[in-house]
Amino acid sequence: MWEKPDTGDSEVADAFDDFLEDYPEYHKTAILDELREKEYSRLDKGRHIYLDYTGGGIYSDSQIRDHMSFLLENVLGNPHSSNPTSAYSTKKIDKCRARVLDYFNAPKDEYVLIFTSNASQALKLVGEAYPFEEGDQLLLSFDNHNSVLGIREFDRVRGASTRYVPVMPPDLRISRGILEKYLDEGASSKNRLFAYPAQSNFSGTQHPLEWIGLAQSKGWDVLLDAAAFVPTNRLDLGRFKPDYVAISFYKIFGFPTGVGCLIARREALEKLHRPWFAGGTITVASVQADLYYLAPGAEGFEDGTLDYANLPAVGRGLDYIESIGLETIHLRVECLSDWLIKRLLELRHGNGKPLIRLYGPVERGARGGTVTINFYDKEGAVFSHDLVEKRANLWKISLRTGCFCNPGAGELALGLSKDEMITCMATSENRMTIEEFRQCIDGKSTGAVRVSVGIASNFRDVFVFLKFASLFRED
């Protein structure tokens, strides 16, 4: 039963015809089908159903070929020198830096770009250097990645406080009125940092970018986690102007995987005070004098040697996305995810009870291409997400299960109360395995199943997943 069957072309074709009747605008994304064949043929050759774009993007064949040619035809050196190979690397890094700022329409007189290994490092740079003091505040949405939540450990040791704005099931949205209440309550603090995701990596919920200006008007600095948002949505930093933005490039175009960035307003960057220095971040350092002078601007935050052999691939990746059109990618993702959500919610057991529970918005246009669900049997008991993943593996479906490094959204979506979590976490002093955690919460789900579509997704991908999901129905 769980061995992957051949999904006949006629079966897919008939369903696709019905799909096009409901989504005629999908025709505008035909270029992506051409690219699927030309640039991502390895997916179909390997019979892969890749549905983990929120976890990581897929690189195109031409990106790798072009970058390989660049590496074979040039000699690159460590940029921290003026010799010819170092100077050439520096030139390419500067070109890439300018290209990224241009892509996000970030005014160069207002914003500076710091290259990092990923979005997590970008977030850590802000957290460790933000000038928290006694009485200051860090405001987080419940719906945040662990790499954002971890900033609380920096403010905690400096006497600042952390508060959380709740998200409301089932859409997992934040009420603007409640948010304003939390923002107003921080008026007496000297330093205030508000951090939230433009798009939830848990549910795909998109939180309004208008909150940036709202928070700033009330005296808050704003840290925007844009990692899940920018692969399929336009972030215009000429219009919306957060103080800090964290991004991972592999989420957008798959390669390189070890490069991200922090885009910061120049004024906001001056506010940060780094707790240490490293190679590449200083102008002068002395052992005997026990002093150092941090380099100005981005250099003072770029620890060690940048990934100069791969950074030029970032500019090529952005060129590739723009050659397709981000709006085209967005439209395809919107159509496929909307169709999948509607069809999943139609699945019923023989007794009429629903098979699927969705976490996040149902309506189109209020979400990204991330679809997070759990499967329930006919008696209403949840199927283990581990079981779902094991069965999906047999179909060569790449999806993701767990809480996706977003415990706040997960706890609220799965109905885990504060008292339950405190009691459970207190049972272990130093370490807790996921198995121990599952036993502790006694039968409740510890996670969910996440599928996500992206640049190389097509109708067949979501159709096969729907067929897979339907096999969990019971008579």
Query: Which residues are known to be catalytic?
Result: 405
CB burial of residue 248 (10 Å; 0-12, 13-18, 19+): buried
Location of structure tokens 């940060």:
272
Q: Which residues contact 182 (CB under 8 A, 6 or more apart)?
A: 139, 163, 165
Buried b (16+ CB within 10 A) or exposed e, 351-361: eeebbbbbbbb
Q: Would you say 1 and 471 are in contact if contact means Cβ atoms under 8 Å apart? A: yes
Q: Would you say 405 and 248 are in contact if contact means Cβ atoms under 8 Å apart? A: no
Q: Would you say 181 and 212 are in contact if contact means Cβ atoms under 8 Å apart? A: no
- Mapping DSSP to helix (H, G, I), strand (E, B) and coil, where does residue 127 land? helix
Q: What residue type is 405 in one-letter code?
A: C
- Mapping DSSP to helix (H, G, I), strand (E, B) and coil, where does residue 306 land? coil
| Backbone phi, psi, residue 284, to 5° | -145, 140
CA 468, distance to chain mean position in Å, is 26
Q: Would you say 251 and 230 are in contact if contact means Cβ atoms under 8 Å apart? A: yes
Closest CA to 358 of 461, 469, 251, 443: 469
CB atoms within 10 A of CB 108: 12
Give the dihedral sign, CA 144/149/151/157: positive
Helix (H) or strand (E) holding 50: strand 49-50
CB burial of residue 254 (10 Å; 0-12, 13-18, 19+): buried
Q: At what angle do helices 459-470 and 9-22 cross, to 10 degrees?
A: 110
CA 240, distance to chain mean position in Å, is 19
d(CA 187, CA 258): 39
